[in-house]
Structure 1
């Protein structure tokens, strides 16, 4: 959007193109021309401001109503209210009353089999806790109501995948000790805390990215460098670790840092 001065300057440029307006050459702040130009400039500014605001609202509405996309399914799953039936309002599935306390799904991931078109919907509660049998049954019924007709969806809630990392962390010794604990509060391990936060907020694709993980940790105060030399995942029921290089897909849709991870702190 143009500024008021930019609009005035554009008006002046346009005025020069019309010789009939040459007589309007007073520089007084209260002259007819200056007053008219200022009034018009303020009107144009108001119109452009209103248009930009309207356009922003339209763009936001379009982005938030991308019905049928994978992120849309994630939003729908997170809107699930345990114990409440859904209603149809203006052709859309909704709840009569929005109750945040009943929205038990903390994290969700949705992927699509590009061959069959089948959706895999994964959901968990806070602190990586799987849904109970009753909760999962209710969620499956809810998904059957909100999904598009003809879409096949498998809904699951699994225990977190295990993530094992072997890393070297260069730290500011004024902030973080050689044991990885925060010097100002030795009850906190900021690197592990940052990893836990990252794993709780995986994208809807369920991808664990070493690049994104590194970025998250290097944003921590006191961390100067973070180098992953080994990364592995496994299901809790398995004893075999599977190595990966840059990224991997979490089968459960979420993961927890395993105690066998090895952190070496240098400064």
Structure 2
């Protein structure tokens, strides 16, 4: 039973956080009057352990209002076979005007996080996902409303951290977030003394380096790193990539058997 203290003209929408081993339908009603009906997909495999990632938050798009100050709200699940498992973690009836934008942001963040991985179990990271990409997805998650989706926000944040760990594990370069230059003689980044490391901002979530321009060809501003040959796997192709916010005549060298050289110009209004 729901007791309403707000004006009866206030419109609401229903949100459900559920876990299920099967596809199913949710129906809602107020005092026996049907309100919503929707089809929802399974969130977990039969026999798997129940974890936070086993749950999904969904919402009905059709708003409604209560006709009485005290009403009976009913949620029921339909169209699934016996032996399956359905868990309801939370049911919310929230003002429609406030939640539409919050739910849109949540759906966008969930889609962005899921697209980082090769499968729904988050075991592998897609090959085209970069650290910068992960940082931008992290920004989406951080902007989610604590008031309306705190649990989902925490869950997505953990998935983003996992994606970052997977990215670090497959990266052959050490110290990809520029914690230091010339810190160790035999590993990490080496470079000129005029290189500066700056903290994260709206563009770069992690540290980044600034290389000052110079006209001295004998002593250019440079940074480099050596990768031990034993790190490379046989019959495997590798790709060098990164994010550049602004550059003019930036020369990039990749040297293994044959040197590869490219000069990059990135205007301040663009990125590469």
Per the normalisation by structure 2, the TM-score is: 0.22
Per the normalisation by structure 1, the TM-score is: 0.22
- Which protein is richer in strand relative to its size? 2
- Which protein is richer in helix relative to its size? 1
